[in-house]
Every structure is written in structure tokens, then in C-alpha cells.
């Protein structure tokens, strides 16, 4: 069997293995059963695990989150799919007012070990409301974890970890790279840590920090820079919350320069949190102001203009050169 | 086809406002213990509820939503559940929580601003109070789903019972949950405490539907309206619904018609929006007097028993209040320790900051005290 998988196939494999390991893991969402999900993330799982464990819900996102809270309070491990992140908002009250708080408000008597998966981000020429990146909304909420893979291997390892986690995890899948590359998945590997950044490329001149689909453009930019003799260190944040500042700090203390890249709007975003952390703890090591290469503070444009919104490799190269110009 | 035809919903009722029997009583009523048991719970709960209001008024407890007038609904529902069933309460369920074995001092602790009020093992799998309206309808459907997934064929099902107010039936959460309960035949009972008021908005302008119960009909659920001040009618309808769920026959919606004899909460003043005549009339319908009259008529209750019960309630409440008021503040660590099973490093760091700040303040207080004394 060819075990080189795309990211969406890796998601499917992680769900399969988690269900195989633990009968309390159940899947629910819209069109996830016989249809296998609109991106096919749950393909084949209903046939394998049956109707009781792979549940097509009515078209009701508030309900999907609400029943996930109820099942999780009973000690089950619901893994719910919201079809697109643009439709996650009816679920917000359940996530913020209940899922995130259940452990705290019962002092640990009940907990909420749910995973809510949602494809997110732009770049696939989708209709309105299908391309936003609103990870910061969730990262702001005490009690939640927010995880974003950027490769098939990390999708597999992080989703396994998310399902094992005893608290709610928002697992955002960058759909632009669902099928962008294939990797061999080592199914015997341990789940990946949910509090650690991944250093994808080692360098000493500038630190590039990104997550999700933008990791691709960030790596591309690092290659371009390398062609000019500039060696960038590239960090995939992967777990937005809790944020592993230590890995970022260690890198920036070495390079003295940092460029943060994200698809989401700039203001009040995760990039701002990272920049603040650098100011607090690496102020004396910084040789240049922290740069942010991000989406604009505009509504996500319809797809004809989305490439003018999404950060591109040349934007990242320019920001890096700007940073390097400071002494 | 005209689908607006009047659904055949007739309110179930056995006792009139004076406790007179208006319909042939079910056989179980001949066992006086059940009714006396209900009566005792309702009287104790009302005294406890009024004590809670008094604690708020004297600055010893936070804002509190009284259940005055609705004691019958909560009492009967909780009494008919088995221990392993799951109660998903709303915030006027003090009588039901007490029936489930949750300490009155814990209920007071919750309204007194302390998370530990929902922590005791006595809660079992029951959910804590739900403040955001109707969100618990989804939790109940989820709990019932979990029960159904784990159920072994042939065994009786556990049952989830979810309480809501009339206001909650205006929310989408309620409709989505009922819809699922019907589609998936879930072992859940939804009980609407129709107390006629959603804070200041009266029942008749909350919905154009003649009854709230009929909102269940669109979801394909058996739906009943019951006199929520009549424990006999409540017992009949709620026990049938629980039995249905337990036998795997699916969900039921019950609208229990009652009245909020109090303000919305201690922070509200209902006289701003509610006519005193209406309140006066509602007091004639209230459940405790009705049951007391019935028991009196049958020679099952008298003034002596009434006084003894009130004294007993006083003792229970006095002890609970003492426990509540003597509960020391939680540790600073508690602010942090229950957010995640595996505490993130950042939170650990903030916890250490809070602990250091606390220590500094205590040392400052000591040295300031020393200085003043010196």
C-alpha cells in the first residue's frame, strides 16, 4: 500500500486510528456519513464504524457543538466537523460558554474532551464565507486549545494528540493545502505535542514564524532568501494556543529579527500576541522591529481578489529584507 | 390541507386551585406517602428559596433567581428520576437539586459566587446550573445521544431530563435540540417551566403559538401541557414521559403551566411591568397551598404536622446557611488549576505571578500592621 498521504487523507487516517483505539471516540457533523464530508475527511469511516459512531447531524451548528458538550460531559470523545469555518459562529456560544468552562465551573467534576474540526482559510476560489481565518477568536478564550497543522505528518500527529487531550480542542485544517503535498505517515509514531512549535528550517539571519497554509509561502520565501545568501529559520507554530513562546524566543535571541506571517487580519491577531511576547522577553536581543506579513483588516475578498489579500512569498522576502536592513 | 388546525392538546389537571378533585384520580394517589413526600420537599424548598432571597437582601449572597411558585415542577421531575439518570437543570431548580441529594449549602455556594458549589460528587453526572438560556437543550440531546450509543440492547435506558423556562422556547437552541431528539429518538424529556414571564416579557407576546408544548409537535414529539401547580398531574405526565424514554420510545416535550410569583431575580423589580392584580390571582393557584388543602381534606395533614415540618425545614436551612457562610475562600491556585487537565506553561507562569502577588500583599499587610502597632 502506498502510505504517502495528502493532508486530508492523513486527517482521515488519524480519525480512523483514534476510533479504532477508543470506542468513546465518535464523529458527528453535516454530510460526514455516506458522503464522507465535503472534503472527504471522513470517507469510509461510516462503513467501518457504523451509524452510531459516525453521525450525520441535522444542519444545525449550534446543535453540533451543544450535543458535543453533552456527550463530552458523559465522558465520550466527540470529534465534530463544522463544514467550513465560516459557519462556526452559531457554535461559538457553546464553545465559549460551555465547552471551555465545563472543567473549571465544576472544579473538575465534569470535563469537555471534544475536538471541533473545521477547514479554514483562503486560496481555493470558494464562495463567500468559505475562506476566512478567524483562529484568533478562539485563541482568546481561556480553556480552549487551538491547533493548526501545516503538513500531512503534522495533521496526523496533532489530530491524534487533539483527540487524546482531555480538554476541548479547536482543530483548524488549512484546506488550501489539503491536497498540496504527500508524505509518508508513520502510524507507529507517537502523537505530536500540543504545546510545541516545529522548526522546519534552521538559519541564523532572520526568524520567520507562520502556521497553516502560509507555511508554504514562508518556506518559499526562505528558499528565495537563501538564494541571496540569507539564511532564515522557519518556525511552524502549529499550536496557536497554548503558544510555545520558548521556541520562538530561542530562535529570535539567535537571529535578532522576526517576521510573522499569517493569513488572518493583522489587528488583534495571533501575530500581535507573538510580537508582544518578543517585546516582553527578547527586547534586548531584537536588532529590528518585529515585522508582520498578514491579511489586511478587510473582509476576506471574494475569490477573484483573494491572491491580493493572502500573504505571498515576495511579501515575506521584502519584510525580511526590511528587517535585515536595520543594524 | 390546513395545518393550522387546533392540535388536540388539553392541559392535564386533577386538582383545582383549592385542591378539590376535578377528575378521577390515578391509582397511585391512594399511596399517601408519595404525595406527603412531595409536599415535604416543596415546603422545605420554598423555605430554603426564601432564605436564599433573604441572604441576598442582607448582602450575604449574590443575585439569585427564586423559584417561588414553581416548586412542584422541579420537585416532581427530580423525584421521578433514578440516581443514574441525568438532570440538566435550569436556574430555578433549587427544589430539584435538593431532591437529587445536592447539599443546600452547595446551591448557596454557587449563587454566593463560588465554583465549588457545582463540584461535589453528590452531583453525579448532572450538569451544573445553566445561565445562557436554552443552551442546555443541546447538552441534554448530547447526553441522551451518549446514553443511546453506549446502551446495550435489552437494558432499560438511562434518561436525560432537561428543564427550561418559557423564554427558552423562543431560542433556536431549543428548536434544534427538539428536532434532533425527534429525528434520533433520544431518551430525553424536555420540561418547560412556563412561569408566564421572560423577565418583563409576558407569555402571550413571546410566541403566537397557543401553547408552548406544541413546539414539540413539529419535531414529531409527543407533547403535553400540564398544570404545573398540580403535583398529581405532573407526576402522571412526567412519569409517562420518563417511562417512554427509558423504554427506547424516544423524547417527550412537556409544558408545565405555572407562574413566577417572584421577581425575575433579586436584581429585578417585577412591579415595574406586572400588574399586582395578576400576581394576586396567581397566588390563588400556587402549588403548595393546593396540595396542603388536598391532604387536609383527606385527613393526611394537620397544623401540628405543618409546624413540625416548618421547624424541620428551619433546622435544615440553618445548618446549610452556617456551612455556606463558613466556607473559606478558595485558594488562589483554584483560579488556575481547573482550566486544563494539562496546564499550559503560560498559565503556570500567570499562576506563579498571582501567588507571588498574594504573598507580597500579605507581607505588606503584616508590615503595615506591625508599623501601626509599633
Of A69, A93, A142, the CB nearest to B339: A142
pLDDT at B5 exceeding the cut of 60: no
pLDDT, average across residues B172-195: 98
- Residue A188 and residue A213: Cα distance in Å, rounded? 26
What is the model's pLDDT at position B365? 87
Residue given cell 452510531 in the structure block: A52
Query: Residue A3 has what pLDDT?
Result: 77
Tell me the DSSP string of B310-355. Answer: HHHHHHHHHHHHHHHHTPPPPPTTHHHHTS-SS--HHHHHHHHHHH
What is the tens place of the pLDDT at every residue in B131-179? 999 999 999 999 999 999 999 999 999 999 999 999 999 999 999 999 9
For the stretch B32-74, pLDDT in tens is: 999 999 999 999 999 999 999 999 999 999 999 999 999 999 9
**Which residues does chain B have within 8 Å of residue A111's beta carbon, measured at their own beta carbons?**
341
- Residue A108's closest CA among B332, B351, B344, B118? B118
What number is the ipTM of this complex? 0.94
User: Which of B193, B195, B222, B216 lies closest to B75 in space, CA to CA?
Assistant: B193
Beta-carbon contacts of residue B87 (< 8 Å; ≥ 6 apart): B77, B78, B81, B93, B96, B97, B100, B126, B127, B161, B163
Give contacts of B146 with chain A, Cβ < 8 Å.
Answer: 70-71, 74-76
Predicted confidence band at B10 (pLDDT cuts at 50, 70, 90)?
confident
pLDDT at B9: 64
Across residues B254-264, what is the average pLDDT?
98
Residue showing cell 476541548 = A168
Partners of B115 on chain A (C-beta within 8 Å) are 104-107
**Best mutation site among A49, A66, A101 for testing chain B: the one with the most B CBs within 10 Å?**
A66
Task: Write out the H or E segment, with its range, that includes residue B237.
Answer: helix B231-246
Q: Do A67 and B180 touch (CB under 8 A)?
A: yes
B126 SS3 class: coil
* Phi, psi for residue A21 in degrees, rounded to 5: -80, -30
* Least Cα separation, residue A270 to chain B (angstroms): 15
- Among the partner-chain residues B144, B145, B173, the one whose CB lies closest to the CB of A62 is B173
- Which residues of A are catalytically annotated? 130
Q: Does residue B4 surpass a pLDDT of 90?
A: no
- Set of chain B residues whose Cβ sits within 8 Å of the Cβ of A58: 176, 179-180, 183
Cα(A312)–Cα(A217) distance, integer angstroms: 6
Give yes or no for residue B374 having a pLDDT over 50: no
- Give the pLDDT score at A303: 96
Q: Which domains does chain A have, with CATH numbers?
A: 4-184 (3.40.50.970), 198-324 (3.40.50.920)
Whole-number pLDDT of residue B65: 98
The per-residue pLDDT of chain B, averaged, comes to 95
Q: Specify the pLDDT at position A2.
A: 61
Q: What's the Cα-to-Cα distance from B69 to each of A300, B74, B163, B329, rounded to whole Å? A: 52, 11, 16, 33
Q: Which of B139, B180, B327 to mutate to test the interface with A (most CBs of A within 10 A)?
A: B139
| pLDDT exceeds 80 at position B372 | no
The nearest alpha carbon in chain B to A77 belongs to: B146
Q: Is B175 helix (H, G, I), strand (E, B) or coil?
A: helix
Active site residues of B: 260, 264, 273
Low-confidence ranges of chain A (pLDDT < 70): 1-2
Cα B154 to chain centroid, rounded: 31
Q: Residues B7-25: what's their mean pLDDT? A: 88
What class has domain B27-325? alpha beta
Torsion, CA A223, CA A225, CA A230, CA A236, rounded to 10: -60
Describe chain A by its helix, strand, coil percentages, rounded to 5: 40, 20, 40
Predicted confidence at residue A63, as pLDDT, reads 98
Residue B360 or residue B373, greater confidence: B360
Grid coordinates representing B211 are 401553547
**Residue A5 Cα distances to A8, A15, A149, A190, A249, angstroms:** 8, 14, 14, 18, 33
Q: In Å, how far is A106's CA from the nearest CA of chain B?
A: 5
Residue whose C-alpha is closest to residue A45's, from A72, A80, A37, A188: A37
DSSP of A266-299: STTSHHHHHHHHHHHHHGGG-SSPPEEEEE-SSP
Return the axis-axis angle of helices B172-183 and B135-150, rounded to nearest 10°: 20
User: Does the structure show a pLDDT above 90 at B370?
Assistant: no
Amino acid at each position: 500500500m502506498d502510505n504517502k498521504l495528502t493532508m486530508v487523507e492523513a486527517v482521515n487516517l488519524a480519525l480512523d486510528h483514534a476510533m479504532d483505539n477508543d470506542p468513546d471516540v465518535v464523529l458527528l457533523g453535516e454530510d460526514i456519513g455516506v458522503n464522507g464530508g465535503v472534503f472527504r475527511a471522513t470517507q469510509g469511516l461510516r462503513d467501518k464504524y457504523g451509524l452510531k459512531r459516525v453521525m450525520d447531524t441535522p444542519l444545525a451548528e449550534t446543535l453540533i457543538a451543544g450535543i458535543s458538550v453533552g456527550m463530552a460531559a458523559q465522558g465520550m470523545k466527540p470529534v465534530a466537523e463544522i463544514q467550513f469555518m465560516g459557519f462556526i459562529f452559531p457554535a461559538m456560544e457553546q464553545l465559549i460558554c460551555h465547552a471551555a468552562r465545563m472543567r473549571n465551573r465544576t472544579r473538575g467534576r465534569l470535563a469537555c474532551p471534544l475536538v471541533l474540526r473545521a477547514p479554514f482559510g483562503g486560496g481555493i476560489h470558494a464562495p463567500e464565507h468559505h475562506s476566512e481565518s478567524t483562529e484568533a477568536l478562539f485563541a482568546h478564550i481561556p480553556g480552549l486549545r487551538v491547533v493548526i497543522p501545516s503538513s500531512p505528518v503534522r495533521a496526523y500527529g496533532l489530530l491524534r494528540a487533539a483527540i487524546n487531550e482531555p480538554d476541548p480542542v479547536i482543530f483548524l485544517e488549512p484546506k488550501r493545502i489539503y491536497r498540496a503535498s504527500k508524505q509518508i505517515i508513520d502510524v507507529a509514531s507517537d502523537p505530536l505535542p500540543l504545546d510545541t512549535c516545529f522548526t522546519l528550517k534552521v538559519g541564523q539571519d532572520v526568524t520567520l514564524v507562520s502556521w497553516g497554509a502560509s507555511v508554504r509561502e514562508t518556506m518559499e520565501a526562505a528558499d528565495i532568501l537563501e538564494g541571496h545568501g540569507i539564511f532564515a529559520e522557519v518556525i511552524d507554530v502549529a499550536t496557536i494556543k497554548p503558544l510555545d513562546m520558548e521556541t520562538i524566543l530561542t530562535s529570535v535571541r539567535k537571529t535578532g529579527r522576526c517576521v510573522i506571517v499569517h493569513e488572518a487580519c493583522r489587528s488583534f491577531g495571533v501575530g500581535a500576541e507573538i510580537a508582544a511576547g518578543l517585546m516582553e522577553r527578547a527586547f534586548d536581543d531584537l536588532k529590528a522591529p518585529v515585522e508582520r506579513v498578514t491579511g489586511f483588516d478587510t473582509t476576506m475578498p471574494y475569490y477573484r481578489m483573494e491572491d491580493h489579500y493572502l500573504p505571498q512569498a515576495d511579501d515575506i522576502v521584502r519584510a525580511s529584507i526590511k528587517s535585515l536592513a536595520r543594524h | 390541507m390546513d395545518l393550522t388546525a387546533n392540535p388536540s392538546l388539553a392541559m392535564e389537571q386533577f386538582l383545582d386551585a383549592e385542591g378539590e378533585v376535578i377528575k378521577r384520580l390515578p391509582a397511585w394517589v391512594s399511596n399517601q406517602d408519595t404525595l406527603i413526600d412531595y409536599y415535604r420537599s416543596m415546603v422545605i424548598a420554598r423555605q430554603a428559596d426564601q432564605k436564599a432571597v433573604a441572604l441576598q437582601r442582607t448582602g450575604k449572597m449574590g443575585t439569585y433567581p427564586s423559584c417561588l411558585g414553581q416548586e412542584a415542577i422541579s420537585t416532581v421531575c427530580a423525584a421521578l428520576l433514578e440516581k443514574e439518570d441525568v438532570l440538566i437543570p435550569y436556574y430555578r431548580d433549587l427544589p430539584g437539586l435538593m431532591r437529587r441529594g445536592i447539599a443546600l449549602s452547595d446551591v448557596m455556594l454557587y449563587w454566593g459566587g463560588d465554583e465549588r458549589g457545582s463540584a461535589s460528587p453528590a452531583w453525579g453526572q448532572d450538569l451544573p446550573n445553566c445561565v445562557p438560556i436554552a443552551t442546555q437543550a443541546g447538552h441534554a440531546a448530547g447526553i441522551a445521544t451518549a446514553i443511546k450509543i453506549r446502551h446495550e440492547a435489552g437494558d432499560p435506558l438511562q434518561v436525560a431530563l432537561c428543564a427550561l423556562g418559557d423564554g427558552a422556547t423562543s431560542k433556536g437552541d431549543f428548536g434544534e435540540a427538539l428536532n434532533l431528539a425527534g429525528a434520533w429518538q433520544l431518551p430525553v424529556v424536555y420540561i418547560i417551566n412556563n412561569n408566564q414571564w421572560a423577565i418583563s416579557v409576558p407569555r402571550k407576546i413571546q410566541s403566537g403559538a397557543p401553547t408552548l408544548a406544541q413546539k414539540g409537535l413539529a419535531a414529531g414529539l409527543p407533547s403535553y401541557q400540564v398544570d404545573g401547580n398540580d403535583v398529581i398531574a405532573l407526576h402522571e405526565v412526567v412519569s409517562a414521559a420518563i417511562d417512554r424514554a427509558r423504554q427506547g420510545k424516544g423524547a417527550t416535550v412537556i409544558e408545565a403551566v405555572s407562574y413566577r410569583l417572584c421577581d425575575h431575580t433579586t436584581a429585578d423589580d417585577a412591579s415595574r411591568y406586572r400588574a399586582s392584580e395578576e400576581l394576586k390571582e396567581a397566588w390563588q393557584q400556587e402549588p403548595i397551598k393546593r396540595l396542603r388543602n388536598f391532604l387536609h381534606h383527606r385527613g393526611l395533614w394537620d397544623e401540628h404536622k405543618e409546624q413540625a415540618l416548618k421547624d424541620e425545614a428551619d433546622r435544615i436551612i440553618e445548618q446549610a446557611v452556617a456551612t455556606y457562610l463558613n466556607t473559606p475562600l478558595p485558594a488562589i491556585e483554584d483560579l488556575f488549576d481547573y482550566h486544563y487537565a494539562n496546564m499550559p506553561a503560560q498559565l503556570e507562569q500567570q499562576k506563579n505571578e498571582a501567588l507571588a502577588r498574594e504573598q507580597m500583599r500579605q507581607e505588606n499587610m503584616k508590615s503595615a500592621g506591625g508599623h501601626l502597632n509599633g
